[in-house]
Structure 1
Amino acid sequence: MAAAPGYASEPDAREPVALLRAYLRRRVSDPINLHSRLGLLWASTLQKDLLEREEQTRMATEVLHVQRSDGGFSLEQLGHWKRQDGSAPGDGSDGYATGLVTYVLLRLDDPTLRPATERALSWLRAHQDREGFWDARSANLSRKNDDPFVRFFMRDAASGYAVLALGEAESGRPPTR
């Protein structure tokens, strides 16, 4: 809807867009995990009538409750997934969660979130690997022995979100809220 300006007002798109908005509105009060709520929060920065500002603030506050003392975020804390292979979950902040959360919170353009986003941006700046990527672990199982595509999937996603967050912070342009 936001990526294709005018799409939502096209006659063939009105009903599907209305159904999508209704679905997303129902999800606001669902006890879904923080990862899913971040998706809804992100969508609300692109579709200005999706959430009220108070709802955005409430969701952002929920997310900030899991910010770690080092300024980063952990994927495990965003979803509380049960690992399929029984391996221990990660025990620290990761690039995927920190990049995603930071990007979404920056898109809200809320001055009260600045201290938290600055801490997260500092974490991102300090944790880029020498090879250029940001690391992350699969929420489901250990991927150490998988083929490179599977093994690096989360690393690549983490790097993408980190770049989005750092770019958003450095752009100086207000979000399209």
Structure 2
Amino acid sequence: MQRANSNLHRRGFTSLHRLQLVTPVPLRSPRSAAHPRASAQVLLRLLAWGILCGCANLSSGQDSSGQDSSVQDSSAPAIVTLDSVPSVREAIEETEPLAGEFSPRQAAIYLDRAALTWQKENQCVTCHTNMPYLFARPALSSVQPDSGEVREFFEQYRTVRWKEKGPTENQGFWPIVVGAGLTFHDIQTTGKLSQVARDVLELMWTAQRADGGWRWPHCDYAPMEIDDHYGVTLAALAVGIAPDGYAESPSAQAGLAKLRMYLKNNPPKSLHHRAMLAWCSLRITGIASDEERAATLKQLLEIQLPDGGWSTAGFLTDWKGLERDDGQPLDIQTSDAYGTGLVIVLSRELGVPADDPRLQRGIEWLLSNQRSSGKWFTRSPVNDAGNLISNTGSALAILALQACGELPGWPF
């Protein structure tokens, strides 16, 4: 604990940031401040940080000195906004140099830019960029405030797009992604299930198929957009972590009964999907047993690489018929943030202490492998597809650091 506290102070976190360094307990309510969402609240935060005058020219990406505001790390944090980001996403390159040292502020800026650029360019929510952004971004709010525009965009699915008519069964992907993003963000900020998140979770059940699953993108983009199974476990995870006993509501109970039927009839094809089962089954009964969770965790920890990290592709070697599109073998020897972050988060959720040597080696890998932009690079295991999985990996890296006390506010 002393190491975690000293690291937090060294990285700019103080008592003002309400440090919450506790052993994970299911559904422990976080005590962090409510997240800003309205433009007036954003303005107040700007005033509070004392940067209203002479702040960075975000639209040009430069401050008054002509420096690139996307990479500088000054003491006055300029908020990244939808207006300030480019209209086309920036390339995610493996060749990007490593950062000299871990910067939580730079991580926040990268996540903001990635999520808002995706929103601006595509006008949609997605499981690989802006959903995990809502999972992880609150962990960095004390060193870099955000505009609240991603949260607002997710809420608009309920208040605007689905105001009169909810999603159809053919649109089952959307309420899962929106519901998971809002629910995780709620537990990371207020600790209470917002009405808009509850409404979206209710709509999620209306789009559930008779077999208990949902329509999910099959984009050959493993491990998240390649089959329906991931979407089902993501839905279960969202319901399980939802505060205020949502999982016990009549609609949730009816939907979960069908969800369990789907998982029983469609066993996981890979270690990755068994990891997702282990995570969501912590709070939803009848999905995986204690013994199955322990076996999955043991398998994950056994494939830690010599440098301390894990490879996402290493979770997919038992998926029969899964091959890279370019004909090359799966790269199971290169550590990445998605694999490393997922194993550390799951390990903490399953009760592995933060000071476990295996987790600490993983944490050291994360701290030393951030890129200069603030992201962590993850190569897409099957097809490079812009390596957008790096955005999920960057969010998981933040969650892993938070779960081990390197960042404040872990809510579980």
Same topology, TM > 0.5: yes
Which amino acid counterpart does residue 13 of structure 1 have in structure 2? A
**Which segment is superposed worse, 102-111 or 67-76?**
102-111
- Per-residue deviation, 1:9: 2.6
Whether 1:41 aligns to 2:278 is: yes
Matches within 5 A, 1:1-177: 1-2=239-240, 3=242, 5-24=244-263, 30=267, 32-47=269-284, 50-80=287-317, 81-87=322-328, 89-90=330-331, 91-111=333-353, 114-143=356-385, 151-170=386-405, 171=408, 175=412
**Which segment is superposed worse, 8-17 or 63-72?**
8-17
- Per-residue deviation, 1:78: 0.5
More helix by share: 1
Alpha-carbon separation, structure 2, partners of 1:115 and 1:98? 14
Which whole-Å deviations, capped at 9, do the CAs of 1:26-66 have from their partners, x for residues lacking one?
66xx4631110111111123336644433321110011121
**Which segment is superposed worse, 99-108 or 12-21?**
12-21
Asked if the contact 2:354/2:403 (under 8 Å) is kept, the reply is no
Alpha-carbon separation, structure 2, partners of 1:153 and 1:33? 21
Alpha-carbon separation, structure 1, partners of 2:257 and 2:363? 36
- Going from structure 1 to structure 2, the CA distance change for 1:94 and 1:165 (only over 3 Å counts) comes to same
Alpha-carbon separation, structure 2, partners of 1:155 and 1:11? 37
Kindly, what percent of the aligned residue pairs are identical? Answer: 33
Alpha-carbon separation, structure 2, partners of 1:157 and 1:32? 21
Asked if the contact 2:377/2:393 (under 8 Å) is kept, the reply is yes
Alpha-carbon separation, structure 2, partners of 1:49 and 1:112? 28
- Per-residue deviation, 1:133: 0.9
Q: Secondary structure at the match of 1:133?
A: coil
Alpha-carbon separation, structure 2, partners of 1:45 and 1:11? 20
- Per-residue deviation, 1:156: 0.9
Which whole-Å deviations, capped at 9, do the CAs of 1:65-118 have from their partners, x for residues lacking one?
211111111111110241012245434111111111111111111349922212
**Which segment is superposed worse, 120-129 or 7-16?**
7-16
Which amino acid counterpart does residue 374 of structure 2 have in structure 1? G
- Corresponding residue pairs, total: 166
Alpha-carbon separation, structure 1, partners of 2:394 and 2:334? 17
State the match for 2:22 in structure 1.
Answer: none
Alpha-carbon separation, structure 2, partners of 1:62 and 1:113? 20
The runs of 5 or more residues in structure 2 that have no matched partner are: 1-238
Return the index of the structure with the highest Cα Rg: 2
- Going from structure 1 to structure 2, the CA distance change for 1:31 and 1:153 (only over 3 Å counts) comes to closer
Alpha-carbon separation, structure 2, partners of 1:112 and 1:131? 27
- Going from structure 1 to structure 2, the CA distance change for 1:12 and 1:131 (only over 3 Å counts) comes to closer
Which amino acid counterpart does residue 79 of structure 1 have in structure 2? L
Q: Secondary structure at the match of 1:60?
A: helix
**Which segment is superposed worse, 164-173 or 130-139?**
164-173
Alpha-carbon separation, structure 1, partners of 2:330 and 2:263? 30
Q: Secondary structure at the match of 1:54?
A: helix
Indicate the RMSD between aligned Cα atoms, in angstroms.
2.7
- Going from structure 1 to structure 2, the CA distance change for 1:119 and 1:25 (only over 3 Å counts) comes to farther
Asked if the contact 2:380/2:387 (under 8 Å) is kept, the reply is no
Asked if the contact 2:402/2:409 (under 8 Å) is kept, the reply is no
Asked if the contact 1:24/1:40 (under 8 Å) is kept, the reply is no
- Going from structure 1 to structure 2, the CA distance change for 1:25 and 1:108 (only over 3 Å counts) comes to farther
